[in-house]
Structure formats: C-alpha cells, structure tokens
Structure 1
C-alpha cells in the first residue's frame, strides 16, 4: 500500500532488490530520480534563470548531478557545488561523469537573490550532524531566503527520526522516491520538508512488500476495511456499550466529553460511571448518555456482570492515586471473570489513569500482559509518556516512532503517543504516524474526545491498533476542517461529516 513508510535502511534494500531483479540498474534508478526532481523544478518554476545544485559524494549527490545535467541541457543557468568526490566506479561517479557542468568546491559557495537551490548533499541517509562547509551553506541559503528543492529529504534531517542533526535546510518542496520515510512525517522534519512529492522511479510494489514494512502514514487506507458499519438488523447493544468513568463533582466534564464522542462514533449505548457524590451533577448534563453509580471495584464488577459493556474509558478528570490504580487493575482483570470475558473487548487509559502508575509502572504492565486481559490502548501526551516510561523518554532513542514502539512492547498495549505528529504503535511493532493534525486541537478537553472515540470503535469490534488509528485520524481531520475557534465541546458533533464520508467510502468498496 502507498502509505507504507520505509526507513533509510529499508529504502536501500528496496533499491537493492530492484537492481537484483534486473528490471533496472543502479544508474538507471539514479537517472529516474534526478529526472523526477528536474521535472518538478520545471513544473514549479519554468522561468528559473539560475539554479545552484549542491552535490554530496554519495547517491544523493549522484541524483543531484542528474538534476544538473537535465537543467543545463534545457538551457537553465546551472551551477554545481560539490563536497567530496564520488567513489570511483559508483553510480554517483557515473552520474557526475555525465554532467556537463564542472563542479565548484562547496566551501566557496555563494549565491544571489532570486536563485533556486537544489539540496542533494546527503538526503535521508545522514547519520551524523551536518557541520563545516555544509552547515555554512545552510546559513548562506537561509540568510538569502532562497527557495530550496530537497532531494529525498532536506540535508541535516534524520530519515529515521525527523530530528535535525546539527543544521538543516528548510525546503519549499521535497521530492522523495517510492515511499516516504518516517523523517518526512515526524517533527521537526515535517516542517522542514515543505510540500512532499512522491515520485515513481520504477521500484515495484511487490518488491517493497517483500521487505514487510511495519510503519505507515496514518490514513483511511490503513483501517477502512475494519471501520464499523451497522447491519440493517442491528440493535443498540449489538453496536457496543461503552462505560466512561467520571471524576468527582468538580471534575465531571472530561468524562462527558469522552462519552459523547463514544456515542457519536457509533457505539449503541454509553454509560457514565459516576461516584455517588457526582451523580446529580452528571444527571443534570446527560440525556442520551446513561448514568450509573460506581464508587468502588465491586460496583464495576456488578456493572460488567449486568450490562456486559464492550469497552471502557478511565482517566479523564478521574483523579490520580490508589483508587484509580485499583479501578484500572479491576478492568484489566475483568477478562478473568466467568461469563464476562467475551463482553469486555477493550480499555482506554488516558490522563490520570496513566499518571497513577508513575511510581508502579510494572504493576500495570504485568496486569496488561495477562492472556485474558482486554486489549489496552493508552493515550499519553509527552509529559504522561515520560511519567510512565521514564527510561525510554530519557534514553538514547531519538525517534518518537522508536520510543512509541518500545513502550508498546513493554506495556503490551497500543500506545497513542500524542502530539502534532502523533504516533500509534502496537506491541508487535506495527506503527503509524499521523500527518493531518491541526493546531486548533491544542485545547483543553480535546484528548478526552479522542479517548471516547477510541473506546467507541473498540466497542464496535475494531481491533485495537485500527481503532486507535481511525480515532486519531478522524479527530485530527475534524480539527483541521473546523479550524479557528474550535473548543472541545464542538468536537463530538463536528465529527459527523468525516464519519459520514468514511461510511460511504467503506460501503463503496
């Protein structure tokens, strides 16, 4: 599928497999890549008078030499600036030999206002900080505000993590090949790429499938086949029942936001589980959402036994401490009860449910690893992630994708590592990076709505990873469409247009 993401190492393997298959050789792939970049320059700026092409010593630089050849042959005033020399006999050396423009040393780089810069220094394969003459060139290009076309990835941006290694170019457009890399979607790399153009250079989908990528750009293509559509004979309890735990009298709003989102997602029934002292507050604000007292674990057991809920949300506005831990462990043990395991399909732990285990994370992880435990989805933001996974957050892994995967494996849970570049990771290593987020979602209560959405999809039978991915994408899409002025109370109703479109798309398959 085209939303697969390839690490730099996987991309190299895709190149190798393509060459080994005999359909095209290495210099052929390089020529196609460079020609695709040149075509994009012609399309965007057909009147370009001068283009400065920056070439490194490796394959990214080889692509640059092809770009320079195409531009110069078309009559564009083209200047090539090179750092290092391609290895003799390499594809990059062949490309340099075919380029009619004699390279100048990058250390002498100079440019004029109005020129275009093609960054073909290092691309996605950079593994050390950009420094020296390359870093100076970034400074010159930035000071002149020159438009940059990046080949594969802006030099200085890690293809694995999206982190800036020393210094990096800010591109207006990035042309990459076959598949995007994680660094195209993870911040700050995503902001430095500009518009991303994905070019087909002849690497077959079947060869990429042999690599078995486990990272994806989150989009409906990833989960639409599992998206729930009720049958004509469906009644409300066939559509799933979600229980949402409420905090005390002064902290009930978060649970109601989650409950409304769960109902809007299509869950047939939603119950707010409230402490006795908050029953009147919740009753005054609920209509279609049911209400039930839940003071302790015995109340939870009784509710599960009587009403057979499919999913729960615990955490939003609930409070931090021993009571929250006990409720969480009771829910995780629900599958061990006779005649109950089939009804509890999934749990969503957010906010206070996560923070309550910061001193005892292993207790949570041990409970979630039990074979009979319901599927668990946790939705931490950066601070909550650091509280529960302190060593991972403060460790040597710079990639948000890598950290999310480590946490998912340890917790035996789907981790929704929230942020502008939310990562959804499953215990088996499968992961998705969300790219349709909007700053309008940075508002109090937005995360509560997301938790309710996840639970609603879990209750309707979506697998945990797909439910989390769908909820994150729909949540972000709704925020993007609504735009300025969005508050959390707007979100549950505003979800409807995106849900309508997804049901139509699923029905059209």
Structure 2
C-alpha cells in the first residue's frame, strides 16, 4: 500500500525501481520483500529447478553456520514451524545429527499437516520430534529458529511467544533461518514477540526486515547464502528499495580537475537563525565546505552578524534580514543552492524564504520543515515542476508533521512511507533514523545501514544537511547527493568514535 501525491490510498501490484546499472547488477544491494521472494521461488520451480534441492542447500547452510559459530554447544535445538522455513529446519537438524552433534527437534504443529518440500524434509529427518511448547532450555543449548522466517504477517501464537520468552530468559544463542521468527520481513517490525538472534542465515537476497529497525538489531550477524537460484530470476523481483552504498552514486560524485576553481565548485548558502541560535547554521556551513562546495556563505540576520563573524574563517557572511534582502541576493544566479532550517526558527519567515527559493536547490531541514506543518501542499506545489530541486530531511517527528496520514498508516514499511512522501512532495526525502531511507519521486529508494549509534547527538543532523547542500552545490543530482551524504555522514560518525560531537564530526568527512 502506498499513498499517492493526490492523497488517495492505493495498492499497486509491485513498486518498481530504476536503479543505476551498477546497483541493479549487484546482488549485495538487492532487497526483496517476502512476497517477491515467494515469486522468485515459484519462478525457479517453473524453470525446472528441483525445489527440494534448494531446501536441502538452505538447511545444510544453516547447519554449517551453527557448527562454525557455536562449536562449544552441548546440544543444538531446532525449532520447526509448519511451512518451508520449518522444512529448512528439518534439513538442518538431519545435517547436524549426521555431523555427530547432539540434536533435538521441537515442532509447532502436527507434522501430518506439512505439505510439499517441508513434508519431504520431515520424512527424511531421522530425529524424533516433540511439541514446541514442551521445550525447556538447558545450559549449553544453541537454538536454530526455523519456525516462521520472513513470511509472517500476523502476531506470533502464544506458544511461540512463550518459547521466545524462555529462550531470551535463558540467554541462549539463536541462529535464525531467513529471519528471526516474530519479525515482519517486509517492515522489520516485531509482531508480538520475536527472537533476538546472534546470527541470521537468509537466502539469495536480503529482505527489508533485515535492514529496517528494529529488525536489523534483532538479526545479529547476517549471512546471505546463494542456494543456486539464477540471479536473473532474483534480479527481476528486486525493489523497491536497495542498500545505500557507493555503487549507487560514486560515479556522480564531483571530481575536481586541474582547471577547476572555486566558482566552478558551486556556491552554498546557509541561513542563520537569530543571535541566540547561530551554531546550527555554522555546523551546516562548515560541513558544506568540507563536502567540496567552492564557496559557502552564511546569510545572517543583522542582529546575528557579530555572533557569526566571531566564529567564521573560510565561510563568508552576508546580511539577509528580510524578503527584500533575499530577493537582492538571488539576483546573482551563482547563488544556486541553499540550506534552510537549522536553528532558523519556525514561522512565516521560514515559509516565505523557502518559497522564494522555488527555482533553486534547497535542503529543507529542522525548523524549515516544521514551518510547513499546517499546509505542506504549498511547499510541494512550489517545487513540483522541472528537475528535483528540493531535499527534505525529516526525523520521525518532523515526518509526521508533513505527512501525518502516511505516518499513521501502520501497514507501510519505512521504505513505503519515504516513497509515498517523495511522490507527494516532488522532493527527495531523507527519512532519518538508525535506518535512514533516502527516497526519490521517481520511485528509487535506498536504506542506509552504516550509521553508528553515536550519531544520535545534537548537531549531527545539521552536519548532514550541510553535506547534502555541499554536494548539490557542485551539481550532483538530488537523489545521489542525498544518498552519498547520508553514507559519508555515517562513515564520518564511525571515524569520530563513540564520544563524537557535531563539531568533531565535520573533521572526519572525507569525500
């Protein structure tokens, strides 16, 4: 389900995505929904591939991971569900027993109800099974969770929730088959209760639930195992999101050449707030300069000129108090790219300044976003024509202010929500968080996974806005500029370490 720019809820059969060729051909960046993976399995079977052979490879891979990761385990406990995920578990249990490991199997449902490959896997598994609710953890157990996997779309049954609680209480290691049971593979949300895995083995491609929070946290280490389905079949179902990495945008990063000078590298302008709120703008400006913009100016109210001037060196300063002063500043076409919002203040001035920039490139952040909460359609209409020039960088609260109906639609994943917002706003939307999603109006979306928790600190978002602005100023397309900025922001956070501050973060930006 997605919410169109008209505000109407609609349900497309499948969201398409137009990745750059390097991304589309790289399985490391694909994300397949559980439904898409189901279509892959069906297509593989239609092509003549033996489906039980695929299950055999999957289960063997899980067993190999268990033996490799937990050689000290006294007993492997395989928890099997009623579908193909359970079938993978029965294969893994047989492989573990064949390797000489003590192995116990507990099943959720009557095995007589198993069908297809899962029934075959059960039939050839030599280990007697017990009911799932009879499992009592022992010290030295290592758990293989093969109950539901990625296809679950409803809260887990009480019997499963009880086992999850017992395993968690005993602090036993868990290997999840495909996805920890209790996680929604499409959204990454917990459906009542979910295992917290030390390691997850999935097959052919990641699912959104592996990278969206809290799913990413609950998956532990993630292993993507190739069970032999042709990549052309998997590729045909990839989308609507992928993983953010340099493969998506590196070829478009600005590359200074010998004849380059500062005016060719673009001019970024960052609007400052009043004298008591100037720091955020300076962080953005410094980050834009670090990202490669040739010139950076802070457009400041006169009452904040002294506060800004005392802290600036390479960044220039220009008094811009009102709409008349802004209009005069815009007479120079080289003033092409702007950051508005950090520390600026919420209200009519922010709205008026943003709308005055409708034919320029604009990163709208923080107060700039909140200023349009009562009527965001005015902003969206202003940037609706021509190339994508607007980049919105909301965190969860700001997103809900601009797109309340999207945020309230609980069936949508974060990828779905970002795509719906981008389509409606005619903007690139950077939906921030530990699982930041970058979405474009044309249907492209990337999920970022390299940001450390230490980035959750005051001023970090101002730095990100500045990096985006710096790349936009150099002519990088809006979607790629935003994706590159988010990735480099995450890398800078890792380089700065656990005690990072926003000021120190800027010194670790390396493009």
* Fold-level similarity (TM above 0.5): yes
Counterpart in the other structure of 1:68: 93
- Report deviation, 1:281: 2.0
Structure 1 length normalisation: TM-score? 0.92
* Inter-partner Cα distance in structure 2 for 1:72 and 1:35: 11
Deviations 1:189-246 (A, max 9, x none): 1111111111111123222222242211112222212222112211111111111111
2:60 to 14, 18, 35: 35
C-alpha change, 1:463 and 1:307, in structure 2 (3 Å) is closer
Please say if 1:366 is aligned against 2:391.
Answer: no
The corresponding residue for 2:345 is: 319
- Give the equivalent residue in structure 2 for 1:213: 239
Q: How many residues get paired? A: 484
1:272 and 2:298 equivalent?
yes
The answer to which of 290-299 and 243-252 deviates more is 290-299
User: Shift of residue 253 of structure 1?
Assistant: 1.1
| Aligned pair partner of 2:398 in 376, 384, 395 | 384
- SS class of match (1:305): coil
> How far is 1:111 from its partner?
2.8
Work out which of the residue numbers 132, 135, 140 in structure 2 matches 1:109. Answer: 135
C-alpha distance in 2 between matches for 1:303 and 1:317: 21
Distance 1:381 1:86, change over 3 A: farther
Residue of 293, 317, 324 corresponding to 2:319: 293
Residues in 2 aligned to 1:213 and 1:58: alpha-carbon distance in whole angstroms: 25
Q: Is the 8 A contact 1:247 1:318 kept in 2?
A: yes
Aligned residue for 1:237, secondary structure, equals coil
Question: Any conservation in 2 of the 1:440–1:483 contact (CA below 8 Å)?
Answer: yes
Structure 1 residues 355 and 86: alpha-carbon distance in aligned structure 2, compared to 1, 3 A threshold: farther
Question: After superposition, where does 1:52-451 map in structure 2 within 5 Å?
Answer: 52-84=77-109, 85=111, 89-332=115-358, 334=359, 344=360, 346-369=361-384, 371-372=385-386, 375-451=389-465
Kept in 1, the 8 Å contact 2:180–2:200? The answer is yes
The C-alpha deviation readout for 1:397-430, integer Å capped at 9, x for no partner, is: 3522222221111111111111111111112222
Which is further off, 420-429 or 160-169? 420-429
Question: Relative CO higher for 1 or 2, CA cutoff 8 Å, sep ≥ 6?
Answer: 2
Q: For structure 1, which segment, 260-269 or 399-408, has the greater mean C-alpha deviation from structure 2 after superposition? A: 399-408
Asked whether the equivalents of residues 246 and 274 of structure 1 are also in contact (C-alpha less than 8 Å), the reply is yes
Instruction: Name the one with the larger helix percent.
Output: 1
Distance 1:178 1:301 in 2: 54
Q: Secondary structure at the match of 1:458?
A: helix
* Distance in 2, Cα, partners of 1:459 & 1:330: 18
Residue 51 of structure 2 is matched in structure 1 by: 26
Residue 30 of structure 2 is matched in structure 1 by 4
Q: Secondary structure at the match of 2:311?
A: coil
Judge conservation of contact 2:31–2:238 (CA < 8 Å) in 1: no
How many Å separate the matches in 2 of 1:89 and 1:327? 63
Instruction: Name the CA distance, whole Å, in 2 between partners of 1:372 and 1:322.
Output: 26
SS of alignment partner, residue 271 of structure 1: strand
Summarize the Cα distance change of 1:89–1:56 in structure 2 as closer, same or farther, 3 Å threshold: closer
Residue of structure 2 in register with 1:506 after alignment: none
1:50 aligns with 2:64: no
How far, CA to CA, are the matches of 2:225 and 2:423 in structure 1? Answer: 34
C-alpha distance 200-302 of structure 1, shift in aligned 2 (>3 A):
same
Give the superposition deviation at 1:86: 6.7
Give the TM-score of the pair, scaled to structure 2.
Answer: 0.92
Specify every segment of 5 or more residues in structure 2 that has no aligned partner in the other structure, as ranges: 1-25
SS of the counterpart of 2:249? Answer: helix
* Aligned position for 1:476: 490
Contact 1:320–1:353 (CA under 8 A) maintained in structure 2: yes
SS at match of 1:329: helix
Q: Which moved more, 1:460-469 or 1:79-88?
A: 79-88
Give structure 1 regions of 4+ aligned residues with deviation exceeding 6 angstroms: none
The answer on whether the counterparts of 2:266 and 2:334 sit within 8 Å (CA) in structure 1 is no
CA RMSD of aligned residues (A): 1.6
Instruction: State the Cα distance separating 1:372 from its structure 2 match.
Output: 3.8
**Aligned-residue offset at 1:481:** 2.0
Distance 1:212 1:57 in 2: 27
User: Alignment partner of 1:480: what SS?
Assistant: helix
